[in-house]
Amino acid sequence: MTEKSRYGEQKTKGPSDSLQEELSRVNRELRRAEELFNAVTDDALIETCTYRIQTLMTYRAYLLRTARQETAAQALVTL
């Protein structure tokens, strides 16, 4: 994908940009799920929120691990 920089130049989105965007999206969803968990009283909804929070936390850990691996690979290339 390409988008324009603030100077009007074309810039290419790298994988790390996509990872950062996805990580931001997951963090927003996690906050919303935690807010909903704090607001609901029905047992089924509490269980659903708990499952959703756990799923998002696992996915966030995967994204962070992937970002670390990419950073380490880039560091090896620059050496």
Chain segment 5-45, per-residue pLDDT in tens = 555 555 545 667 899 999 999 999 999 999 999 999 999 99
Q: Is 60 helix (H, G, I), strand (E, B) or coil?
A: helix
Instruction: Evaluate whether residue 39 is within a structural domain.
Output: yes
Of residues 15 and 1, more confidence is placed in 15
Mean pLDDT value across residues 41-64: 98
Element spanning 79, H or E: none
Instruction: Evaluate whether residue 18 is within a structural domain.
Output: no
Look at residue 58 and tell me whether its pLDDT is greater than 70: yes
Instruction: Evaluate whether residue 13 is within a structural domain.
Output: no
Answer yes or no: are the C-beta atoms of 70 and 16 closer than 8 Å. Answer: yes
Q: How many domains is the chain partitioned into structurally? A: 1
Interhelix angle 15-39/43-78, nearest 10 degrees: 160
CA separation for the pair 54, 62 (Å, rounded): 12
Parent domain of 63: 23-71
Instruction: Evaluate whether residue 10 is within a structural domain.
Output: no
